[in-house]
Amino acid sequence: MSIVLSDLKILLVEDQSEARAMMRNMLMEMGISQVFEAPDGRKALSFIDAAFDFVDLIICDWNMPEMNGVEFLRQLRTVDQDMPFLMVTGRSDMDSVVEAKSSGVTGYIRKPFSPAQFEAKVRIILQKVAA
């Protein structure tokens, strides 16, 4: 199955607006223009509730107020087992990676990352889901 990046709809969950805008830019550089944004897990969850199966991929920061990334993912997995989920975090210790994996992320990227690394991770996740 081929992946056409320009057709993708992505939900970007990140509390820091600069970081959100930066990732949006990176995604647009990849040719992905349909990017939806949410500032925390709670808002993202209500977005998913309203528009179920609408997005193809969720990119989410770990540390957020209200509801953090892991909590959001746990709640998401109760309604959607297969939604591709890329966790973005400044944490790079082994325990965090293990925790993220065990809570059901599809992919994991450490900050800081280059646009190339970001694109590679997005592609890996989409390929994983497609395969």
Partner 1 sequence: MPVLLFPTFVIFILAVFIFILFWKMRCLKESTLVFEDSIDALSYGLVFFNIDEKFCMANKCACRYLPFISEDTAMSDNSFKTLNDFFGYMFDHAVECDKGLKRILDKSFGHMGEEGFREVIECSNGMLCLADVRKTIVGRKVIILRDLSEFKKDEDNFIQLHQHNFELTEAVEAATNGILIAIGEEKLGYRIAFVNNAFCEHAFLLKKEIVGSDVQELLYGFVGDNNKALVIDSFENVKSVDFEIQTEYEQKKRWFNFKLTPVINNIGYPGLFIGVSTETTELKLREAEFFQAQKLDALGKLAAGVAHDFNNVLSIIDGYSHIAINLLEDGDTTKDYLEKIRTASARGAALTQKMLTFSRHKIVVENVIDLSSTISMQEILLQPLIDASVNMSFYTYDKDLFVECTADSIIQVVMNLVVNARDAMPDGGDLQVEARKVERCAVSSEVQKEMCDDVFVCLSISDTGHGIKNATLERMFDPFFTTKDQGKGAGLGLSMVYGLVKQMGGCIDVKTKLNQGTTFFVYLPVSDKKPQKVIAGNVQDISSLSLKGYTVLVVEDEPELLNIVANLLEKLDMNVLTASNGNEALLKQDNYTGDIDLLLTDVVMPELDGIKLAELLTSLRTETKTIFMSGYPADGRLACIDLPEKALFVAKPINYESLARIVFKTVSDTMELQNGDLFETTPHWESSDIIQESSEV
Residues that bind partner 1 (CB under 8 A): 2-3, 16, 18-19, 22-23, 25-26, 29, 63, 89-94, 107, 110-117, 119-121, 123-124, 126-128, 130-131
H or E stretch at 130: helix 115-130
Q: How far is the CB of 113 from partner 1 (least distance, A)?
A: 6
> The sheet that has 57-61: what strands, in order across it?
34-38, 9-13, 57-61, 85-89, 107-110
Q: How far is the CB of 97 from partner 1 (least distance, A)?
A: 11
Q: How far is the CB of 129 from partner 1 (least distance, A)?
A: 10
Hunting for tokens 């081929």 — which residue is that?
A: 2
Q: Which is nearer to partner 1, 48 or 84 (CB)?
A: 84
Quote the CA–CA distance of 65 and 41 in Å, as a whole number.
8
Q: Which is nearer to partner 1, 46 or 117 (CB)?
A: 117
Q: Which is nearer to partner 1, 78 or 114 (CB)?
A: 114
Hunting for tokens 């990140």 — which residue is that?
A: 14
Quote the CA–CA distance of 47 and 11 in Å, as a whole number.
9
Q: Which is nearest to 92 in space by CA: 106, 114, 108, 110?
A: 110
Q: How far is the CB of 114 from partner 1 (least distance, A)?
A: 5
Q: Which is nearer to partner 1, 48 or 126 (CB)?
A: 126
